[in-house]
């Protein structure tokens, strides 16, 4: 009797985006000055804290109210002043859906960010929760609906937290069209949102590749002494700030150049994706969420290099279709 031929199990499909990212990160709460702190977690989204004479401002809120509780606990370890302001550096669900936990008097965003919420907020919420389940811990704690600003501005807004001047600035497009930074001019401390990353791969699925470098130049022109990036450790001296700006600038330029070259040669997206990965992985492949970001980054860069000057809306369905097409 002939023994049946052995069967081989099919290779497991690559987990979509960061669904395989399950490891909890170590949180740091770094004092940058009497008025500024950084809540960072080894490449997970950062939160900035500004403590004025009479109130506290939070920049980016974490992804759920349950996750925001840890930020609040750290704030309460250094001050009992009321948390009156939340600033949205841009609109991505992982940055904003924790806002309700702070019960702020005002949620501040740029007019461009408000436009993005209106246009694509619901789709973005569904898309991101599907991509990053670990980063939406206790997602049931998110109130129904979206995070809406109560104050908006265009270009520049200045708040005084007692004697502390806080400038909220739009310096240009990059990570999104609504990007906003928070600047403490007296202390030369800047909270950049995802315009700057440090040791973490920039997510550029909603980006303006052509405009981003000039926006980084505008940040550099402020001459920040310290900087809290969107992801990665707080940058605590001018050399680290310069490294964060240069690393982000290099990544955006290298990815866009590789994609533009492929598009100009008439190659399709899948081919351009593979050649771009091969070109940039040696330099950036060790950065946090590299494999997660690259399909989105190359797809957006290809769009910008061909026929879509403005980012298209990501939906949960489009995410999966793109992932299957590029990653199999």
**Six-digit token string for 126:** 């569904």
The whole-number pLDDT of residue 11 equals 44
Q: Report the pLDDT value the prediction gives residue 119, as an integer from 0 to 100.
A: 96
pLDDT at 145: 87
Q: What is the pLDDT along the chain (328 residues), one digit of tens a residue?
A: 334 343 334 445 567 776 656 677 899 999 999 999 999 998 899 999 999 999 999 999 999 999 999 999 999 999 999 999 999 999 999 999 999 999 999 999 999 999 999 999 999 999 999 888 888 989 999 998 899 999 999 999 999 999 999 999 999 999 999 999 999 999 999 999 999 999 999 999 999 999 999 999 999 999 999 999 999 999 999 999 999 999 999 999 999 999 999 999 999 999 999 999 999 999 999 999 999 999 999 999 999 999 999 999 999 899 999 998 998 7
pLDDT at 32: 98
Distance CA 312, CA 316 (A): 13
Domains of the chain, CATH where assigned: 28-327 (3.60.15.10)
Closest CA to 171 of 239, 110, 236: 110
* pTM for this entry: 0.93
pLDDT the model gives residue 4: 39
Give the separation between CA 215 and CA 179, rounded to whole angstroms.
10
Q: Are 57 and 85 in contact (CB under 8 A)?
A: yes
The answer to whether the CB of 179 falls within 8 A of the CB of 173 is yes
């Amino acid at each position: 009797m002939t023994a049946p031929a052995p069967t081989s199990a099919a290779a497991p499909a690559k987990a979509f985006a960061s669904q395989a990212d399950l490891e909890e990160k170590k949180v740091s709460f770094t004092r940058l000055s009497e008025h500024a702190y950084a809540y960072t977690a080894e490449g997970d989204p950062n939160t900035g804290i500004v403590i004025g004479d009479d109130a506290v401002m939070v920049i980016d809120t974490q992804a759920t109210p349950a996750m925001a509780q840890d930020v609040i606990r750290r704030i309460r370890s250094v001050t009992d002043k009321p948390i009156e302001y939340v600033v949205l550096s841009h609109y991505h669900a992982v940055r904003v859906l924790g806002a309700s936990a702070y019960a702020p008097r005002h949620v501040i965003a740029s007019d461009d960010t408000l436009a993005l919420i209106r246009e694509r907020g619901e789709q973005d919420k569904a898309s991101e929760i599907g991509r990053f389940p670990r980063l939406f811990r206790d997602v049931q704690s998110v109130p129904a609906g979206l995070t809406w600003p109560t104050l908006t501005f265009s270009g520049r807004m200045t708040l005084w937290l007692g004697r502390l001047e806080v400038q909220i600035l739009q310096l240009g497009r990059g990570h999104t069209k609504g990007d906003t930074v928070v600047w403490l001019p007296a202390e030369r401390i800047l909270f950049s949102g995802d315009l700057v990353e440090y040791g973490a791969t920039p997510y550029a699925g909603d980006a303006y590749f052509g405009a981003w470098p000039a926006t980084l130049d505008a940040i550099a022109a402020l001459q920040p002494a310290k900087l809290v990036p969107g992801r990665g450790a707080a940058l605590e001296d001018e050399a680290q700030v310069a490294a964060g700006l240069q690393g982000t600038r290099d990544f955006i330029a290298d990815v866009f150049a590789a994609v533009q070259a492929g598009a100009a040669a008439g190659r399709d997206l899948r081919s351009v994706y593979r050649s771009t990965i091969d070109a940039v992985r040696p330099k950036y492949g060790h950065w946090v969420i590299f494999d997660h970001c690259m399909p989105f980054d190359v797809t957006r860069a290809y769009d910008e290099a061909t026929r879509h000057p403005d980012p298209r809306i990501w939906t949960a369905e489009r995410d999966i279709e793109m992932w299957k097409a590029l990653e199999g």
